Amino acid sequence: MERPATRNDLEDDASTHVLDERTPRRRRSRGRRAGGLWSGPPEAEDDDRPSQIATSPLGVEPIDLDPVRGGYPGGRLVLDRYRLEGKLGAGGFGVVYRAWDEKLEREVAVKVIPKDGDGPVPQRAAREARVAARLNHPGIVALYELGQDDEAVYLVSELVHGRTFADLLKGGALSDRDVAQIGTALCDALRHAHDKKVIHRDVKPQNVIVVAEPAAGAGFAKLTDFGIAHLAIGDPLTRTGDVVGTLAYMAPEQAEGERVTEAADVYSLALMLYEGWTGVNPVRGNGPVATARRLGTHLPPLRSRRRELPDDLAAAIDAALDPRPDCRPTLAQLRRALDGVDDDLSDEGGLVEPATLERFGLTRVGRARVRDPMTTDSLPARVAMRVAAGLAAAGLTLGGLTALGPTPGWSPLAAAAIVALLTAISPRLGWVAGICVVIGWLGSPGTDREGTALLLTAAAAPVPLLLPRAGLWWSVPALAPLLGAAGVAPLYVVVAALAPTPWRRAGAGAAGFLWLLTAEVVTGHNLLFGVPAGVDPRAAWETSLSGGASDALFPAVGSTAILPIVVWAAFAALLPVLVRGRALVLDALGAAIWAAGLVAAHSALAQLEAPDVPLDTARGVIAGAVLAVVVAVAAAGAGLVSPPEDEESFSPRMATP
């Protein structure tokens, strides 16, 4: 695109009235108050009315500023620096333009708020904008400058190429999962702001711009109008534009003029998401008065409108909409609830579909996408994953029913088929059903394999706890004994490392070792360090619960033979720290260092475990480690390894059915 001629100078221009330079500097005083500049009551020195601009009658209608309509002749230069190019939209206080920053030669968005008088922008508003300008987060539209001239106040910010949540919602472009993912991104953005003592106070669908591609994380949805609450809110009833649209998302305590805390943003965000899932903002009435009347009332529970939404999610949203700020969850809790159900929600018709992106002119963001190999957005791949999970659970069921005791009178194959079907429909339910069938059969009085049933229970029960809600991962630990049988047990650690979060990687690593050890105990084969000392052959204990405990379970888990569980969990969690999917050479180097560490850790384990295990070196550790390097590098190249900075926090993440 041809740009206007630029002066390309970086000198300060006297005619540019940048408030940061005009308002008194009180740097030392910033943030000194408990609760921060934004969260406490107004300071005594704020004699200027915070809502001075907002409450003005706005003599000029926003549309008058439209260059196309002649208010500002095409390409008008403001603040002697920003060339207004085209209108992006209009709100209650002004018009937002796409503009060209002639000094820094970049695109920006300029919000033009017509001035009501000659006075400067209220000190408090200016100060808050300065604080907001220091926020730096991919989920927050960066505020570059707040300036003014005789006619207007100008808020200059990052130009976002995207569509507002409001537009997308209206156009039916958001799937249930999109809404949850936008919510997650906004939780992160707000957490960053709250950490810096900035409360947004105007979270609403018009102030959220969605870029594209949910998997891009925090940069996927961006909050605008940060730090201008005092410029832009004021008394909502006196403003022009979408009065109801502003009131309808406002936390009750905020509308009442009471002290506003972070919980106000939690409320507004939850209400926006509620609307995202139901299509209805339950606060919105036919006009400002009707809307104001509904503020602070208990809203209909989310599940009353969307019965099929997960319980935990609905409970968190309902709690976030509690009229009492103290009863609302924190952003971290809300985020966990959103993230935990992410994969339980449908993505049909949403932003993952190219047709939707195209319809809304959304472009994909450039950032590399990190995928959980167990979850993918393409329908055939999702079906394939479920079929694979179904087959794995069926295989375990069939193996358990035929190899560990007398064959049942009923068809194990039919049972396995039912388990496969159930798992494909609901991975967690199917897996639990399969395990229960096997353990139930072995432990039933006629079968008389209580000892084996106990061992299997000890191996299976921790899996859902180690991999919470990640049902598609629950059969994966069975790979550990299989790889052990092939003589490359440590290769399993790299498989566990493909899980998307550190906790899930650690959980998958730990569960894999648990299954490997159980397989050694149950089969009597040496798969890694061998059958622990004190464990008797299965024939000695399989028929007795107490025998299973004393002659198999306790010697295995109560000795040093259990120690590799820690090493497997740690190495699975750590792989992405060294293998980041950025450059092949670096990945290969990182993977080699990781594999060397894995080998070293196994030789240390061999020393530690010497009194309790038969083998003095880990079986297949070198071959497993070498293969692990190959798998790690290939997986990183395919975008299946999650670098730590792509993860929001080192906290348990609950997702995946």
Ligand X SMILES: Nc1ncnc2c1ncn2[C@@H]1O[C@H](COP(=O)(O)OP(=O)(O)OP(=O)(O)O)[C@@H](O)[C@H]1O
Positions 351 through 390 that interact with ligand X (CB under 6 A) = none
Residue 109 lies near ligand X (rule: CB under 6 A): yes
- C-beta nearest to Mg ion: residue: 225
Minimal distance, residue 166 CB to ligand X, in Å: 7
SS3 164: strand
Residue 345 lies near ligand X (rule: CB under 6 A): no
CB 468 within 8 A of CB 652: yes
If the CB atoms of residues 288 and 349 are measured against Mg ion, the closer one turns out to be 288
Closest CA to 56 of 192, 156, 152: 152
Output the six-digit token pair for 53. 């601009």
Residue 204 lies near Mg ion (rule: CB under 5 A): no
- C-beta nearest to ligand X: residue: 91
CB 340 within 8 A of CB 655: yes
Q: Which does 88 bind (CB under 5 to 8 A by kind): Mg ion, ligand X, none?
A: ligand X
Q: Which does 93 bind (CB under 5 to 8 A by kind): Mg ion, ligand X, none?
A: ligand X
Residue 184 lies near ligand X (rule: CB under 6 A): no
Distances, alpha carbon 195 to alpha carbons 192, 250, 521, 541, in Å: 5, 21, 50, 57
If the CB atoms of residues 157 and 184 are measured against Mg ion, the closer one turns out to be 157
Binding ligand X (rule: CB under 6 A), the pick from 38, 93, 144, 165 is 93
Among the listed residues 202, 347, 372, 536, the single catalytic one is 202
- Binding residues for ligand X, rule CB under 6 A, total 24
Residue 469 lies near ligand X (rule: CB under 6 A): no
Residue 452 lies near Mg ion (rule: CB under 5 A): no
If the CB atoms of residues 88 and 482 are measured against ligand X, the closer one turns out to be 88
Positions 154 through 183 that interact with ligand X (CB under 6 A) = 157-160, 164
SS3 638: coil
Catalytic residue status for 612: no
Binding ligand X (rule: CB under 6 A), the pick from 16, 51, 148, 246 is 246
Q: For Mg ion, which stretch binds (CB under 5 A), given 67-75, 199-207, 299-307, 328-336?
A: 199-207
Q: Annotate 141-161 with three-state secondary structure.
A: CCEEEEEECCCEEEEEEECCC
CB 609 within 8 A of CB 558: no
If the CB atoms of residues 95 and 467 are measured against Mg ion, the closer one turns out to be 95
Minimal distance, residue 592 CB to ligand X, in Å: 45
Can you tell me the distance from the alpha carbon of 455 to that of 116, in angstroms, rounded to the nearest whole number? 78
If the CB atoms of residues 273 and 480 are measured against Mg ion, the closer one turns out to be 273
Positions 197 through 216 that interact with ligand X (CB under 6 A) = 206-207, 209
Q: Quote the distance between the C-alpha of residue 564 and its chain's center.
A: 31
Q: Is 517 exposed, middle or buried (0-12, 13-18, 19+ CB in 10 A)?
A: buried
Output the six-digit token pair for 553. 């379970």
Cβ neighbours of 635 (radius 10 Å): 22
If the CB atoms of residues 87 and 449 are measured against ligand X, the closer one turns out to be 87
Can you tell me the distance from the alpha carbon of 178 to that of 163, in angstroms, rounded to the nearest whole number? 13
Distances, alpha carbon 563 to alpha carbons 327, 492, 560, 646, in Å: 43, 16, 5, 30
Minimal distance, residue 246 CB to Mg ion, in Å: 9
Binding ligand X (rule: CB under 6 A), the pick from 38, 58, 82, 91 is 91
Can you tell me the distance from the alpha carbon of 615 to that of 80, in angstroms, rounded to the nearest whole number? 78
Minimal distance, residue 202 CB to ligand X, in Å: 6
If the CB atoms of residues 190 and 636 are measured against ligand X, the closer one turns out to be 190
Closest CA to 627 of 499, 498, 528, 494: 494
Catalytic residues: 202
Residues that bind ligand X (CB under 6 A): 88-94, 96, 109, 111, 141, 157-160, 164, 206-207, 209, 224-225, 232, 241, 246
